[in-house]
Amino acid sequence: MSPDLSPSSIPPRRNNRDWPFFAGLALLSSVYVLLILAMLAADFSFTTPHHLLQALASPEIRYSIKLSLLSCTLTTLLSLWVAVPTGYLMSRHPFPGRRLMDAILDIPIVLPPLVIGLSLLILFQTPPGRALQQIIPVTYAIPSVIIAQFAVACAFAVRTMLVTFDQISPRCEQVALTLGCNRSQAFWRVALPEARRGVLTAGTLAWARALGEFGPILVFSGATRLRTEVLPTTVFLELSIGNIEAAVAVSLIMIVAALAVLTLARIFGLRAPLERVL
């Protein structure tokens, strides 16, 4: 067999005179990386295991941890329930108004968080929102925490699933259709199994985004102790009373949780969708 001489198979030749260029790239790219590492190092050096254990012993902080885990998990499930069909629809089936819908889905990503919280607060003061609250209390209650997280996290999950389905060739689905499957069967038996790693990436990204949500929750849910307090609002409340050690300890809990889910996404999920969304 003749050797592969395509341009992609030939390794690029490096000139010794290129080292200033690569040194400049390394210097510029390392500035932001060093800033992030410096912030993390500062957090870890500021607190002690005693402060961390003392924070975990607080009933308010334990409640915020439980509520954060519960709300982030429910938000992730709701986000995937919406993101998978939305991403598949936009990737596989062009329809009138697709560009408009694509732009609308970007609004929660680019909109200031406080504006999202204010918009949710106003929404549930309208007649339909008031009617719903006659059945289920939403504003300044636990459901408002989940809705505020969902309003932002779902947009990131949708983007991830859209990229995922765009990277999957529709050929296998077309073959399934020729073999007697309908669209629903082709989706459940072919498309969704191939997108499983993208689903994992979307879920972990939505969970991490929900964990760090603060602005919409502060406006729409408030920051009531032992009621609507989640980890980001705990940091805010501890800072407001001057308890910096507890605020840093809670911040470290969030940092470790975020690193864990992002590492999980990069190991088991699709790297390309995660990088393109982030």
198-222 tens-digit pLDDT = 898 899 889 999 998 999 999 999 8
Q: Which residues contact 106 (CB under 8 A, 6 or more apart)?
A: 155
Share of the chain above pLDDT 70, in %: 90
Q: What are the angstrom distances between the C-alpha of 251 and each of 164, 212, 225?
A: 32, 10, 17
Confidence at 79, pLDDT banded by 50, 70, 90:
very high
| Domain that residue 87 falls in | 49-277
252 lies in a domain? yes
38 lies in a domain? no
| Phi-psi group of 68: left, alpha or beta (phi > 0 → left; psi -120 to 50 → alpha; rest → beta) | alpha
Whether the CB-CB separation of 261 and 192 falls below 8 Å is answered with no
| CATH code for position 79 | 1.10.3720.10
70 lies in a domain? yes
120 lies in a domain? yes
pLDDT score recorded for residue 8: 53
pLDDT score recorded for residue 258: 83
9-37 tens-digit pLDDT = 555 565 667 778 888 888 888 998 899 88
180 lies in a domain? yes
pLDDT score recorded for residue 131: 92
220 lies in a domain? yes
Question: Radius of gyration (Cα) for the chain, nearest Å?
Answer: 23
pTM for the complete prediction? Answer: 0.82
189 pLDDT higher than 90: no
Domain tally, the chain: 1
> How many angstroms separate the CA atoms of 115 and 151, rounded?
12
16 lies in a domain? no
Whether the CB-CB separation of 106 and 238 falls below 8 Å is answered with no
35 lies in a domain? no
139 pLDDT higher than 80: yes
> How many angstroms separate the CA atoms of 165 and 146, rounded?
27
